[in-house]
Every structure is written in structure tokens, then in C-alpha cells.
Structure 1
Amino acid sequence: MQIPSWLLTVCEYLEQIAGLVVLLPLGLGVWRWPRLPTTLRLLTGYLAFTEIVLLTSSLVELYWPVWSISLWHLFTLVQTLLFLRIYYLTLTSPALRRLLPAVVVAFTAFALLDSLYLEGLHQMNSYTHVLQSALLIGLALLYFEQLLNELRVIRLEQDPLFLVSTAVVLYFSGTVLLYVFVNKLSAPADYASHQVIYTLNSMVNLIQYVLFALAFWYAGQSLSYHSRS
């Protein structure tokens, strides 16, 4: 793929900005930690893990580039398990809460199969991303349905889990196709193609982190919000 050098420079800057913006919701999560429910404490842990992976990825890319993608296989697995735990604590349906532990086991098994056999550790685990996106978007939509049925939240834009779920839907619906085609449309050595893909991912990440920051900001402020912990 032939891309102008100036556009690649812009892409690199956008990716770096997205890596820094994660500090905004992470800082708010740490600041409001004593008032956070278990679900948002888990989200704070996820953001801390994200920052650690970003820093580690930079070092791995510099010294052991062949293993840089492998690190994101681990990130995808941990990311999914943390969000599954968040929704296990959030959704009130007994049937769903009984089902989610089996989903955790099945997803972990498939992710390991994909990383070790189907696609390997040295290319993007696109199959796992598709399954991850379907699961998390589905759980977010189930939370929206729960809000409609319970009618306990007066201002949705101030409900932390509504904001988190909106971020989940926007992020995973916006990136799933990128991961589906990343291994097919760009060669491993095609830096330009990968940079554009990572930049599009970073742009969606910016929206996600802003919504997470709003979730932490409103946490504990709304009397209408109650979390299962």
C-alpha cells in the first residue's frame, strides 16, 4: 500500500495520543477508587493493564519485534475476561449469570486454540477478535435491555455502566472488520497498511476512553445508580 509520508506521520501521532489519553480515565479511576463499585474498580484495573501492555509493547517492538503481536494475544484474552466479569456483576438475569462461567471457559479455550494453532502467535488473532466483539457487544446490548425493563435510571448519560456499555458497542463494532481483514489485506512487512489499521483503532479508542472517563466522573454522583458487587 502506497501512503504519503505525511499521512504516516499523522497516523503515528494519533496512535501516540491514544496511548496517552488512556491516562485520563485511569487517573479518574484511581482518584475516585474509594467511591467506585466493584465493576468500575475492575475497569480501572483493565485500564492499568492496558497502559502496562502499551509500555511493554513499545519495548518488545524495539528489541524483540517478532514477539510484538504475541503480546496483544494475551491482551485480548485478559481484556475479554475482565469485561465478562464486569457484566457478570452487572446483569441481573439468573440464567445469564449461570451461563457466563461456561462462556469464560469456552472463550479461553478458543483464544488459546487460535493463538497456538489456527492463526499462530505471529499474526493478529482475528478469529478471537470476532468472537470477542460478538460476546461483548451482545452483553452490552443485554445491559441496555435491562435498563429499559427496570426503568430505574432517569438520566442515561450519567449512568456509568451505560457509558461503559456504549463505549464497548462503539469500539468493538468499529474495529471488528479491521481485525477480520488485517491478516488478509496486508503482508506482515507492510508497515503502511498496519499503521493505518492501528490508527483507525486508535481513533475509536479515543472515543472509548472519553466515555470511560465520563463513567468514572459520574460514578457515585447519581443516586439512581446502584451496582451489584
Structure 2
Amino acid sequence: MQIPSWLLTCCEYLEQMASLVVLLPLGLAFWRWPRLPTALRMMASFLVFTEIIMLVSSLQELYWPAWGNSIWHFFTLVQTLVFLRIYYLTLTSPTIRRLLPALAVVFTGFALLDSLYLEGLHQMNAYTHVLQSALLIGLALLYFEQLLNELHVIRLEQDPLFLVSTAVVLYFSGTVLLYVFVNKLSAPTDSASHQVIYTLTAMVNLIQYLLFALAFWYAGRLMPYRSRP
């Protein structure tokens, strides 16, 4: 794939912008930290972890480029476990809460199998991303159902976990096919195709970080609820 140099430059600027926008939800999270529930505190800590991983990834690509993808295998595993914990704290169904620890063990086992045997550490862990996306989108949809059945929130756009779950659905539904594409349809040396993947991911990240920022902004505020009949 051949991409004009000017477009590659725009892509790089977009990626840098996405990495800076994360400062907005982080700033709001630390400002409203005393009012944040445990789930959102975990989310804020995860954003800090994400920035650390991005720094380590940059150093890795500079000094050990052959292992550039390995750090993201670790990130995918931690990201999934963090969101499983967030939804464990958020969902109220006893059945689902009992199921989540088992799902965490199964996912961890599959992720290790994928990284060490199925696809290896030198390419994107597409199989793990597919499983991760299906799992987290499903949990987000379960939270939407819980809102409809139990909370009776009038202003959904002001419910922090609704915003987080919307970000989860948008991000993972928008990126899962990209990670499959980068392994199956592009050569490892095709840097242009990989740049497209990273740029599209950065665009989805922009939306995700803005939704996270709104979640931290509304956290701890008095929410309007619909009275029960």
C-alpha cells in the first residue's frame, strides 16, 4: 500500500493529538478524585497505565523493534482484566458477578496461548482482540440493560458508567476488524498499512477519551432518577 507523504504526516499529527487528549480525562479524574466511585478510580489508574505503556512502547520500538508488538499483548490482557473488574463492581446480577472471575481466568489462558503459540509475540494478537471485543461489548450491553431495568435514569448522557460503556462499545467495535486486518491482509514490512491501523485507532481513541472525560465530569453529581410507579 502506497500512502502520500503528506497523509502520513497528518496521520502522525492525529496520533500525537490522541495521545495528548488523554490529559483531559486524567485531569478531570484527579480533580474529582474524592467523588469518584471505585470503578472510575480504576479507570483513571488504567489511563495512567496506558500512558506508561505508550512510553515503554516508544522506547521498545527504538531499541528493540523486533519485539514492538509484545508490549501490546501484555496491555491487552491487563486492559481486559481491568474492565472485567470495573463491570464486576458495576453490574448487580449475582449470576454475572459469579461468572466474571471464571471469564477472567479463561481469557487470561487464551491470551497466553495466543501470544505464545497461536500468533506469537511478533505480530498483533488478533484472536485475543476478537475475544476481548466480544466480551467487553457484551458486558457494556448488559450494563445498558441494567440501566433500563433498575436505575430508571432520566439523563443517560450524565450517567458516568453509561458514558464509559458507550466508549467501550464504540472503541472495540471500531477496532476489532482493524487488528484482524493488520495480520491477515498486510505484510509485516508494510509500514503504510500499519500506519493506517494506528491512525484509525487514534481517531477512535479521541472519541473514547472525550467520553471518559464526560464520565469523570459527571461523577459524584446528583443524578435525576425517574420515580417508580
Q: TM-score if structure 2 supplies the norm length?
A: 0.96
Is 1:35–2:35 an aligned residue pair? yes
Tell me the percent identity. Answer: 83
Distance (whole Å) between structure 1 residues aligned to residue 40 and residue 220 of structure 2: 11
Q: May I ask how many residue pairs the two structures share in their alignment?
A: 225
CA deviation profile, 1:32-66 (whole Å, cap 9, x unmatched): 11110000000001100001011111111111111
Aligned to 1:153: 153
Distance (whole Å) between structure 1 residues aligned to residue 170 and residue 32 of structure 2: 25
Aligned residues of 2:12 and 2:199 also touching (Cα < 8 A):
yes
Aligned to 1:202: 202
Distance (whole Å) between structure 2 residues aligned to residue 180 and residue 222 of structure 1: 42
Aligned to 2:106: 106
1:68 is displaced (CA, Å) by 1.3
1:151 is displaced (CA, Å) by 3.9
Is 1:133–2:133 an aligned residue pair? yes
Aligned to 1:94: 94
| 4+ residue runs over 6 A deviation | none
CA deviation profile, 1:70-108 (whole Å, cap 9, x unmatched): 000000000000000000000000000000000000000
Distance (whole Å) between structure 1 residues aligned to residue 90 and residue 115 of structure 2: 30
Aligned residues of 1:158 and 1:222 also touching (Cα < 8 A):
no
Equivalent residue letter for 2:46: Y
1:224 is displaced (CA, Å) by 4.8
SS in 2 for 1:161: helix
Aligned to 2:143: 143
SS in 2 for 1:112: helix
| Structure 1: runs of 5+ lacking an equivalent | none
Q: TM-score if structure 1 supplies the norm length?
A: 0.96
Aligned residues of 1:178 and 1:197 also touching (Cα < 8 A):
yes
SS in 1 for 2:153: coil
Aligned to 1:55: 55
Range that drifts further, 119-128 or 19-28:
19-28
Distance (whole Å) between structure 2 residues aligned to residue 101 and residue 224 of structure 1: 33
Aligned to 1:23: 23
Is 1:189–2:189 an aligned residue pair? yes
SS in 2 for 1:153: coil
Aligned residues of 2:137 and 2:169 also touching (Cα < 8 A):
yes
